[in-house]
Amino acid sequence: MKDNIRSIVIIGGGIGGLSAGIYAQRQGFESTILEKNTAPGGQCTGWDRNGYHIDGCIHWLTGTKDGGPLNALWREVGALDGVEIVHPESFLCFEQDGLRACIYRDLERLERSWIELSPEDADVVREFCADVKLLQGFSFPVDKPTDLMGPVERLRTMLSMKDAGKILKKYGKMTLQEFAGRFRCPALREGFGSMAPEWYNAAMIFFAIAAFTANEASIPAGGSRALSMRMADTYRRLGGRIETSSEARTLEIAGRRVRSVVCSDGRRFPAEYVIAACDAAFVYRTLLDNRYPDPAFEKRFADPIAYPLASEVLVAVGFAGRTTELAEPMPWSMSFPVEPFTIHGRPIRRLTVKQFSHEPGFAPHGKTLLICDINQYQHDYDAWSRLSREEYWLQKRRLGDAVTRALEARFPEMRERLEILDVATPKTYERYCNAYRGAFMAFFPTVKGKMMAHTGRIKGLDNMVLSGQWLQPPGGLPAALLTGRDAIMRLCRKTGRAFV
Ligand SMILES: Cc1cc2nc3c(=O)[nH]c(=O)nc-3n(C[C@H](O)[C@H](O)[C@H](O)COP(=O)(O)OP(=O)(O)OC[C@H]3O[C@@H](n4cnc5c(N)ncnc54)[C@H](O)[C@@H]3O)c2cc1C
């Protein structure tokens, strides 16, 4: 018998929750989003400081190519309505020993420039570019989740993944460090080698660069917060209700059904169906009080080597000038060596900085927003957690100073013209989004780990599912969008509605 569900409570107003909400409204359900913060968006956000707007998320958004299947979905949820797409000339430039190697959008230019920089790497570079090219036409299947597909659709999907399969077979057991070690050029070797943790799977870098060089991964003008707000507007226009400052704390469960969601301020939201579009560990361990553990997640949480989580320190800096004043062009994003400084004893030898000159509205007139990201892993999070309140603020200030010094050393024109705007840490993401260990994406893919595709079903409960980026590691914005939509497709199947 089909379930007669009409109303849905969605926990979490990030991209996953907004996506679930928009598709729920489109299919005729009545939905309410409970969001713990004062505004929706979750990790896809930005905030204002000293006249600057700090963009806290999008380095690149997959699905920006007009006419692509993912692009159609971003448009369907209003994320890209009337928005200019910024296509940076390069994705990231690596500097080392006076050399600069850029991952150019134009793959032929990339190949030419790398061979020019390091002729002894010509064969490796050509092979790299040929493999990237193979993936340029690949797009992740977005029609429906595999569990809703019939045998013919599954076969078609498998066939469409042929080229991806080739790359996964060739590089899936190679670490990024091993891949980086193929290059003699120090900029490429050091640059690629420092991008991810020790066991990170090299194949993933091919997917990212293929998407970028195929114009499929660029930056929507206005940034992360504006994108989330457009989705929130779409949701409200469709009749959806967002309850902000509403943190779900407990669930009232009777038998196999959740009856209501109770917020930290005591308000109760009766629920016919619940979609938890928030952090997986928070859902299983806190909301469900460890009563419905999921083996696939528990296995991953217990093995941080095979399934590492990454968070970051984000240092936002205001530059009282324009990048055109610098002696050499400053690319959108660059990674360069620095005089080592430490975070909790771990030496930081390289820094990645993004500059937002394409967003004049993010800075006061004549100034530029700069953002430095420093990856943080298992031990870093533990060390941040051990600090007292005073030590925590001191450490943030110390890091802001270290980053400023590193920027001034690399760009002497910036001396005396930098202002630390904010320093976010793994604890910030934990506090803001309930993100497990401050993780900004789901488990990083490594050569030791296995892929996970989770339906979101919570064993033991008939009317609650998990959604959001954790269902499709390594996560990211497209995963959040798709899993929100998938949750509603499954609900339509369950309730006998056609998904239109
Ligand atoms: C610094 C940074 C850079 C990134 N860069 C990129 C990028 O360039 N490209 C890309 O694709 N992805 C990027 N990401 C990842 C991307 O932001 C996430 O994958 C995506 O936003 C996750 O969406 P989500 O809805 O699954 O989860 P979240 O964004 O975590 O949303 C969950 C929501 O639930 C709310 N919530 C949690 N618990 C409760 C509760 N109990 N009650 C009510 N509400 C609750 C949270 O406040 C949050 O709003 C980046 C993330 C960060 C932090």
| Separation CA 367–CA 172 (nearest Å) | 43
Average the pLDDT over 119-143 and give the result. 94
pLDDT of 196 reads 86
Mean per-residue pLDDT over the chain, rounded: 96
Residue nearest to atom 6 of ligand 1 (CA): 58
How far is ligand 1, taken at its centre, from the CA of residue 440, in Å?
7
Average the pLDDT over 441-463 and give the result. 94
- Is residue 1 scored above 60 in pLDDT? no
Average the pLDDT over 264-291 and give the result. 97
Structure tokens at 322: 């324009």
Residue nearest to atom 1 of ligand 1 (CA): 57
Handedness of CA 27, 77, 19, 233 (dihedral sign): negative
How far is ligand 1, taken at its centre, from the CA of residue 117, in Å?
38
- C-alpha pair distances (Å), 326 with each of 67, 329, 412: 38, 7, 9
| Separation CA 444–CA 475 (nearest Å) | 9
Average the pLDDT over 127-140 and give the result. 93
| Separation CA 427–CA 434 (nearest Å) | 9
| Separation CA 341–CA 374 (nearest Å) | 12
Q: How many separate helices (H) and strands (E) can be counted in the chain?
A: 16, 20
pLDDT of 140 reads 83
Portion of the chain with pLDDT greater than 90, in percent? 94
State if residue 58 touches ligand 1 by the CB under 6 angstroms criterion: yes
Q: Which of 497, 2, 5 is nearest to 272 (CA)?
A: 5
State if residue 440 touches ligand 1 by the CB under 6 angstroms criterion: yes
Pocket test of ligand 1: the residue of 57, 285, 466, 470 to mutate, having most ligand atoms within 8 Å of its CB, is 57
pLDDT of 4 reads 84
Tens of pLDDT, residue by residue over 283-331, are: 999 999 999 999 999 999 999 999 999 999 999 999 999 999 999 889 9
**Residue 325 buriedness (CB in 10 A; 0-12 / 13-18 / 19+):** middle
State if residue 438 touches ligand 1 by the CB under 6 angstroms criterion: no
Q: Which of 55, 497, 475 is nearest to 278 (CA)?
A: 475
Structure tokens at 396: 């943030």
pLDDT of 81 reads 86
Around Cβ 98, how many Cβ atoms within 10 Å?
Answer: 7
Residues, the chain, total? 500
- Is residue 137 scored above 90 in pLDDT? no
How far is ligand 1, taken at its centre, from the CA of residue 444, in Å?
15
Type of residue numbered 256: R
pLDDT of 3 reads 78
Whether the Cβ atoms of residue 23 and residue 497 lie closer than 8 Å to each other = no
pLDDT of 301 reads 96
State if residue 15 touches ligand 1 by the CB under 6 angstroms criterion: yes
Whether the Cβ atoms of residue 72 and residue 78 lie closer than 8 Å to each other = no
From-to residues of CATH 3.50.50.60 in the chain: 7-77+222-305+446-495
- C-alpha pair distances (Å), 18 with each of 12, 49, 78, 281, 467: 8, 26, 11, 20, 11
Fold of 7-77+222-305+446-495: FAD/NAD(P)-binding domain (3.50.50)
State if residue 278 touches ligand 1 by the CB under 6 angstroms criterion: yes
Tens of pLDDT, residue by residue over 144-153, are: 999 999 999 9
Tens of pLDDT, residue by residue over 159-218, are: 888 899 999 999 999 999 999 999 999 999 999 999 988 889 999 999 999 999 999 999
Tens of pLDDT, residue by residue over 393-426, are: 999 999 999 999 999 999 999 999 999 999 999 9
| Separation CA 474–CA 483 (nearest Å) | 13
Pocket test of ligand 1: the residue of 278, 374, 481 to mutate, having most ligand atoms within 8 Å of its CB, is 278
pLDDT of 284 reads 98
